[in-house]
Amino acid sequence: MSKSFGFDTLGLHAGYTPDDRHGSRAVPIHQTTSYMFNDTEHAAALYNLEVGGHLYTRISNPTIGVLENRMAALEEGVAAVAVATGMSAVFLSILALTSQGDHIVASSQMYGGNINLLEHTMSRFGVTTSFVDPTDHDAIAAAIKPNTKMVFGEVIGNPGLDVMDVSAVAKVAHAAGVPLVIDATLNTPYLMKPLKHGANIVIHSLTKWIGGHGIAMGGVIVDGGNFDWGQNDRFPTLTQPHFAFQGVNLWEEFGPAAFAMRVRSEGMYNIGPTLSPTNAFHILQGIETLGMRMDRHMANTAELVAFLKNHDGVAWVNHPSLPDHSCHDVAMRQMPKGAGSIVTMGIKGGRMASQAFIESVELASHLANVGDARTLVIHPGSTTHSHISADAMKAAGLTDDLIRISVGLEDINDIKADFNRAIKIAQKKTSAKGS
């Protein structure tokens, strides 16, 4: 068996071999907190990172392990750690690299939760962030300081939909001796694998397209293994003796997987945002059809964008596939299969009309999520991004009439009919009527 498999095959098989005892074809749910040790020597070896295996579910679990291996395989990373949510994946990544007094350069156009974590939570612990426009590479270079530990951004900004040129930003970060960490939730490894474009760490909220069903929270951190942590003395958490495991030097003993080992050996040991094994199982069910679902998401998105673009009642539509989108060329080059299934638009009549639209859809669901199998709509200005400052809103590309659509897998004609109806109602209800 000396083969390398394609995306859909890995999505179905990676990380799991049916066990000899039961031969279970589907990945079993190991709903257990702990594992029997063979003897005291085996226990000690597990506690000391000498052998593979599981000792306590906060640290690792066989079902979660399959999910981790599968995500590493799909992203082409050396190792992955799955966690309870996308937010905890972001937090543990920051925790693995930064300490008090350190600094992060981050995209100003990110999911509100990411911005809040950096701006309000990390700053209380002495880790500060400079937010910069991810398409302004000079600004990124200028923002990197001697205490900067990472450049952080999203491929497709949520909900501004600007697209980062990952290889260009990676070059800027690497020239300064700093890794590029990417939240790739909106693109999934099916549309783009940021590690292949020079990013070093990839984070996902598995809650979204990767699960796809909207039934389970989850997050993952994938270590690209493609950053030389020993090139400078910026990364003592990886290149100096660990506080535990007899002072292991992770860079020397685990090499390309040093970062993932730090996440597990500190983040999971000392913080413990553990994914439930049952949720890992649910997310694995989603991954099995990720490729096929993304194709359908992209086909529906293309049709819906064309429909909205030509609709009288729509003031504007934004999607990176549109030729007039400021990041169109980068998007097409990086994501030839499609630039994600988030579309934003404004209804003629401004904020009131947009809110009326959201209240009038019947098939689409008004809720705070993206990447569900069902079509979702929301008004970020009054919800997901309402906690961020007016300046940050502006930087994130948010106007007050902006509706965010997460295009689902329904029959496209039904989505179009629902939107058509709601747009008409919205216009009747507002002063835009007849305009």
Which option in another protein, ligand PLP, none does residue 5 bind, with CB closer than 5 to 8 A by kind?
Answer: another protein
Q: Which of 75, 165, 183, 223 binds ligand PLP (CB under 6 A)?
A: 183
In the block, which residue shows the tokens 């950096």? 118
Cβ neighbours, 10 Å, residue 110: 26
Query: How many residues bind another protein, per CB under 8 A?
Result: 55
- Tell me the per-residue interface mask from 31 to 50 with another protein, x by CB under 8 A, - otherwise: ----------x--xx--xxx
Q: How far is the CB of 50 from ligand PLP (least distance, A)?
A: 33
Nearest to 362 by CA among 321, 312, 419: 419
From the list 115-123, 207-215, 223-231, 398-406, the region that binds another protein by CB under 8 A is: 223-231
CA angle 385, 386, 387 (to 5 degrees): 90
C-alpha–C-alpha distance, residues 47 and 35, integer Å: 12
Residues in contact with ligand PLP, total (CB under 6 A)?
16
- Nearest CA to 316 out of 326, 327, 305, 329 is that of 305
Q: How far is the CB of 383 from ligand PLP (least distance, A)?
A: 11
Which partner in ligand PLP, another protein, none is near 129 (CB below 5 to 8 A by kind)? none
Name residues contacting another protein, limited to 264-283 (CB under 8 A).
Answer: 264
For ligand PLP, which residue of 59, 122, 166, 217 counts as binding (CB under 6 A)? 217
- What is the Cα–Cα distance from 353 to 315, expressed in whole angstroms? 10
Contact 86, 228 (CB under 8 A): no
Name which of 5 and 329 has its Cβ closer to another protein.
5
- How far is 185 from 85, CA to CA, in rounded Å? 12
Residue-wise burial string across 414-429, b where 16 or more C-beta atoms lie within 10 A, e elsewhere: ebbebbeebbbbbbeb
Among 107, 129, 185, 279, binds ligand PLP (CB under 6 A): 185
Listed in sequence order, the residues at least 6 apart from 119 whose beta carbon sits closer than 8 Å to its beta carbon are 129, 131, 388, 392
Binding mask 49-88 for another protein (x = CB under 8 A): xxxxxx-----xx--xx--xxx-xx--xxxxxxx------
Query: How far from chain centre, in Å, is Cα 434?
Result: 41
Give the pairing of strands 148-154 and 180-183. Answer: parallel
Q: Residue 111 binds which one of ligand PLP, another protein, none, with CB within 5 to 8 A depending on kind?
A: ligand PLP
Structure tokens at 130: 């400079």
Of 218, 179, 229, 173, the closest CA to residue 202 belongs to: 179
205 binds, among ligand PLP, another protein, none (CB under 5 to 8 A by kind): ligand PLP
Selection from ligand PLP, another protein, none that 254 binds (CB < 5 to 8 A by kind) is another protein
Encoding tokens for residue 266? Answer: 């500190």
Q: Is 6 exposed, middle or buried (0-12, 13-18, 19+ CB in 10 A)?
A: exposed
227: left (phi over 0), alpha (psi -120 to 50) or beta: beta
Single residue of 74, 143, 180, 186 touching ligand PLP by CB under 6 A: 186
What is the chain's Cα-based Rg? 22
Nearest position to ligand PLP, beta carbon? 86
Which 3 state secondary structure label does DSSP give 124?
Answer: helix
- In the list another protein, ligand PLP, none, the entry touching 73 (Cβ below 5 to 8 angstroms by class) is another protein
Q: Does 202 bind ligand PLP (CB under 6 A)?
A: no
Amino acid (1-letter code) at residue 56:
Y
Map residues 231-270 to x or -, x wherever contact with another protein holds by CB under 8 A. --------------xxxxx--xxxxxx--x---x------
Q: Which helix (H) or strand (E) holds 427?
A: helix 412-429
Residues that bind ligand PLP (CB under 6 A): 85-87, 111, 113-114, 154, 158, 183, 185-186, 205, 207, 217, 219, 370
Residues that bind another protein (CB under 8 A): 1-5, 10, 13-17, 41, 44-45, 48-54, 60-61, 64-65, 68-70, 72-73, 76-82, 224-226, 228, 230, 245-249, 252-257, 260, 264
